[in-house]
Chains A and B, each alone.
Chain A
Amino acid sequence: MAPDAILLEARNITKVFGGVRAVDDVSLQVREGTIHALIGPNGAGKTTFFNAISGFMFPERGRVTFRGTDVTRTMNWKRIAMGMGRTFQTPSVFPELTVDDNVRLGVRAHAGQAFRLFTPTGDAKATVDRRVDELLGFVNLTAQRDRPLSELAHGSQRLCEIAMSLSTDPVLVLLDEPMAGLAEAETDRIMGVIRDLRVRLGLTVLFVEHNMRVVLSLADRITVLDRGKLLAEGTPAEIAANEAVRSAYLGEGVLEHV
C-alpha cells in the first residue's frame, strides 16, 4: 500500500441512543502511517464513534471500510483478525492473570493455538514464547511479567493492554483515551510508546484524547467532534488556530496554552 493510502474510512456514521444522536453523520479517513487524533469536549461522541469503527456496536447509518473491505457489520473479533487492534478507556484486561498470561492469550489467539485442548510444546511453544518476550520488551514490562495484572499501577496496566492489542499483529491500533487517569510521568511513558508504534513498528494509530498537550505533540492529523457532529479536521497547527474549535472548548481551558 502506498504510504498515504487510506487504511480506514468511516463515511456518514450515525449512532442514535434513544432519540439522541450521539454521533451524527461523521466521516473520517485515516491514512496509512499517520498518528490521527480524535478530540472534542465531553459528550462529543468520540467514544461512540470509536465503538462504531471497532465493531463494539454497529452504527444505524454509514459505512466503515478497513483495508478496502466493508466492515460496517463485521463482528469485532473478525476485525481483529483483519488487522485492527484496540484499547479501552478503562484498561480492558484480565486482572487476575499475570502480565505474561495476559499477553500470551493474544499471541496464542493470533498463532491459532487458543483452541488447543493440550498445552503446546516444542516449536509451537517457542514461537509464542519469543513473541511474548518481544511484546513485553516493547512496553518494558518484562520485569513484572509474573505478577497478577491487578497488582500493577494503572499506567502499567495500560501498557499491558497496548501489548495485548499488539499481540494480534495489527496494522491499525485504536487507542481510546490512552492517558486517562494517568500521572504526568506515566503520560510521557505512554507517549513514547505511541511514537514507537509508528517509528519502530510502522503502525497506524487512531486515538481519542482529552489532553491537548498530548494531542498537539503526537498527532499528524486531528479530527474534532462537538455534540456528535464533525467540527473540524486538519493538522495540529490548523486545529489550534481554528476559531470554531476554540469556541467549542471555551471554558474548558484546554487550549489556553496553545
Chain B
Amino acid sequence: MKARTELLVSAATVVLLAAAPAISPLVHLDVSIVSEVLVTAIAVMSVNLLLGYTGLPAFGNAAYFGLGTYGAALSVKYAHVHFIEAIVIGTVAALLGGLILAPFLLRRRGIYFGLLSIAFGQVFYFIAYRYTDVTGGEDGMQFPRPDAVLGGAHQTISELGFYYVALALFVLVVIAFRSVVRSPFGRTLVAIRQNEARVRYLGLNTDRFIFVALLISATMAGLSGALFGLLINFAYPLQLDWHQSGYFVLSMILGGAGTVWGSLVGAFIYVIGKDIISTITPLWQIFLGALFVACVLGFPRGILGSIAALRARAPDTFTDDDVNAAFDPNAPVEVGRGA
C-alpha cells in the first residue's frame, strides 16, 4: 500500500472508531460491544505477531489473555486497586507468564510449539478452575469496575468512558505494532517465518528474536485481557481455555495474517458475529463457524490480505486490455502459495 493511501485509510478508520458510540445505537449495538471489538483486536494482534509475522503457531495466547483478566480481577477484588493500576497489573502478570513460558516454548518449532502452547495454557486454565477459594472456580468471579484515580481525583468510568480508554490504548498499540513489524526486528521475524536456517546463517541467534516476540505478544494479550475483565467486570476460567486461543487464531486468519489492520477486521467479525447470532440462537457457534469457513474460502489470505494482494496487482489506471485480461477465462490462476 502506498504511504499516502495507508495514512488516509488509517485516519479514516480512527475517525470512524471515534464516532462509533454515536453510530452504534442506530444499528442497535451497545457501545460496550464496540469496546469488546477493540479489546479483542489487541489480543488478535498478539497472535498475529507470532503466527502471522513470525510463523509460530500461537495456539495458547488465551493463557496470557486470561492472566491479564485474572491479574486485574484479583487485584481489584482483594487489593482494591484503581482502574489504571488494574490494567497495569493485569498486563504485567501476562508479561511474567510469558517470561516463565518462553524459555520452554523456544525449544520447539512448528506444530510442537503449538501443542506446547496449548498445554501450558491449559495449566493456567485448570489453576483458575480448581483454585475455587480465590478465583471462584468454574463460576468465575465478579468484581466492580474501580474508579480511575489521577492526581487524587476520582473518576468513575462509564461505558462510554471505557470505550474511549480502549480506543486510546488500541490506537497506541496499533502505532507501536506497526512500528515494530516494520523495524529491523520485525523484518527479521518475517525472515524467520520464511527461512529460519538462513537467518541463523546470517549470524543471528533466532531464539533471541523469538523470545522477545513472545514477550511482546504476551504483554499485548495481557493488556487485552485486563481491559476485557474491566469491561465485563467478570473473570472466568474459559477465558484461559484453548477454545479462546482458537477464536483469536481464527479471527487473525479471517482478518489477514501479517497485516496491521487485519486483526481489527477479524475481531470485528468475531465479536459482532457472536453478539448478533447468539441473540438469535444458542447454537451460535455453528453459524459463526460457517461464517469463518465462508470467509476463509472467499478470502484465502484473510480479508485484508486478499484486498492487499489484489491492490498490489492492480495498475493505477485501467486500459481496455487490462479489463479484457481480467475477464480472460484462459488467464493463469494463482492456486496457492505453497507450490
Task: Chain A residues near B187: list those with CB within 8 A.
Answer: 97, 101, 104-105, 108
Q: Does B311 contact A (CB under 8 A)?
A: no
Inside 8 A of B10's CB, which chain A residues have their CB?
Answer: none
Q: Which of B198-234 contact A (CB under 8 A)?
A: 198-206, 208-209, 212
Question: A98 CA to B165 CA in the complex, in Å?
Answer: 39
Q: Mark B181-197, 1 if CB is under 8 A from A, else 0.
A: 01111111011001101
The distance in angstroms between the C-alpha atoms of A75 and B200, with both chains bound, is 9
| Complex alpha-carbon distance, A85 and B203, angstroms | 9
The number of chain A residues with a CB under 8 A from chain B is: 36
**Among A9-17, A31-39, A114-122, which stretch is in contact with chain B?**
A114-122
Question: Is A182 located at the chain interface by the 8 A CB criterion?
Answer: no
* A80 and B202 within 8 A (CB): yes
Segment touching B, from A18-26, A87-95, A223-231: A87-95
Whether B183 lies near A94 (C-beta < 8 A) is no
Q: Do the beta carbons of A77 and B184 come within 8 Å of each other?
A: no
Q: Does B172 contact A (CB under 8 A)?
A: no
Contact check: which of A54, A104, A108, A164 meets B198 at CB < 8 Å?
A: A164
Within 44-86 of A, Cβ neighbours of B (below 8 Å) are at: 54, 56, 75-78, 80-81, 85-86
Q: State in angstroms the CA–CA spacing of A164 and B195 once bound together.
A: 13
Give CA–CA (A167, B191) in the complex, Å.
Answer: 15
On whether the beta carbons of B191 and A97 are closer than 8 Å, the reply is yes
Q: Is B285 an interface residue (CB 8 A)?
A: no
| Interface: B179 (CB within 8 A) | yes
- A119/B184 contact (C-beta < 8 A), A94-B195, A94-B198, A164-B198 known: yes
Contact of B205 among A77, A120, A168 (CB under 8 A): A77
Decide yes or no whether B294 CB sits under 8 A from chain A. no
Is the CB of B180 closer than 8 A to any CB of chain A?
yes
Q: Does A236 contact B (CB under 8 A)?
A: no
In the assembly, what is the distance between CA of A54 and CA of B197, in Å?
Answer: 12
In the assembled complex, how far is the CB of residue A82 from the closest CB belonging to chain B, in whole angstroms? 9
Q: What's the dominant secondary structure at chain B's contact region?
A: helix
A205 to chain B, nearest CB (A): 16
How long is the Cα–Cα vector from A113 to B206 in the complex, in angstroms?
A: 14
Interface-central residue, A56, A78, A80, A119, by most chain B CB under 10 Å: A119
Distance (whole angstroms) from the CB of A27 to the closest CB of chain B: 24
In the bound complex, what is the Cα–Cα distance between A95 and B191 (angstroms)?
9
Number of interface residues of B (CB under 8 A): 26
Centre residue among A86, A88, A97, A117 by max chain B CB count within 10 A: A117
- B residues within 8 A CB of A237? none
Complex-state Cα separation, A113 to B224, whole angstroms = 30
Given A76-B200, A77-B200, A105-B188, check contact A96 B179 (CB 8 Å): no
Q: Measured between alpha carbons, how far is A92 from B191 in the docked complex, in Å?
A: 11
Query: Do residues B194 and A97 form an inter-chain contact, with CB atoms below 8 A?
Result: yes
Q: Are A116 and B184 neighbours in the complex by a CB distance under 8 Å?
A: yes
Contact B191 A105 (CB under 8 A): yes
A244 is an interface residue with CB less than 8 A from chain B = no
- Among A141-174, those with CB < 8 Å from B are 164-165, 167-168
Query: Considering the chains assembled together, what is the distance between the CA atoms of A167 and B182 in angstroms?
Result: 21
- Bound-state CA distance A233–B119 (Å) is 54
Chain B residue numbers with a CB within 8 Å of A80 are: 200-203
- Are B195 and A93 in touch, CB under 8 angstroms? yes
B153-184 near A? 1/0 per residue, CB < 8 Å: 00000000000000000000000000110111
Q: Is the CB of B188 within 8 A of A76?
A: no
A76 touches B180 (CB 8 A): no
Q: Does A109 contact B (CB under 8 A)?
A: yes
Is the Cβ of B183 less than 8 Å from the Cβ of A117? yes
A115→B197 contact, CB < 8 A: no
Q: With an 8 A cutoff between CB atoms, is A178 at the interface?
A: no
Taking CB as reference atom, which chain B residue is nearest A167? Answer: B202
CA distance A149 to B183 in the complex (A): 20
Residues in A neighbouring B194, C-beta threshold 8 A? 94-97
Please determine whether B203 and A97 come into contact, CB atoms closer than 8 angstroms.
Answer: no
Please report the C-alpha to C-alpha distance between residue A122 and residue B209 in the assembled complex, in whole angstroms.
24
Shortest beta-carbon distance from A120 to chain B in Å: 7
Q: Report B285-331 residues with CB < 8 Å from chain A CB.
A: none
Q: Which residue of A lies closest to B194 (CB)?
A: A94
**Chain B residues with CB under 8 A of A119:** 179, 182-184
List the B side residues contacting A115 at CB < 8 Å: 184-185, 188, 208-209, 212
Q: Judging by beta carbons under 8 Å apart, are B183 and A81 in contact?
A: no
- CA separation between A108 and B191, bound complex, in Å? 13
Q: A40 an interface residue at 8 Å Cβ cutoff?
A: no
- Is A120 a contact partner of B203 (Cβ separation < 8 A)? no
Query: What chain A residues lie within 8 Å of B206 (beta carbons)?
Result: 77
A110 interfacial contact with B, CB 8 Å: yes
Inter-chain contacts of B182 with A (CB < 8 A): 119
Whether A94 lies near B191 (C-beta < 8 A) is yes
The docked-state distance in angstroms from the alpha carbon of A164 to that of B194 is 15
The interface of chain A, by Cβ under 8 A from chain B, is 54, 56, 75-78, 80-81, 85-86, 88, 92-97, 101, 104-106, 108-110, 113-120, 164-165, 167-168
Give 15 A-B pairs besides A92-B201, A93-B195 with Cβ atoms closer than 8 angstroms: A76-B200, A76-B201, A77-B201, A80-B202, A95-B195, A96-B194, A97-B191, A105-B199, A106-B203, A109-B204, A113-B184, A117-B185, A117-B186, A119-B182, A119-B184
19 A-B interface contacts by CB (under 8 A): A75-B205, A77-B200, A85-B201, A86-B201, A92-B198, A92-B201, A93-B195, A94-B190, A97-B187, A97-B190, A105-B187, A105-B202, A106-B202, A108-B188, A110-B202, A113-B184, A115-B184, A116-B185, A117-B179
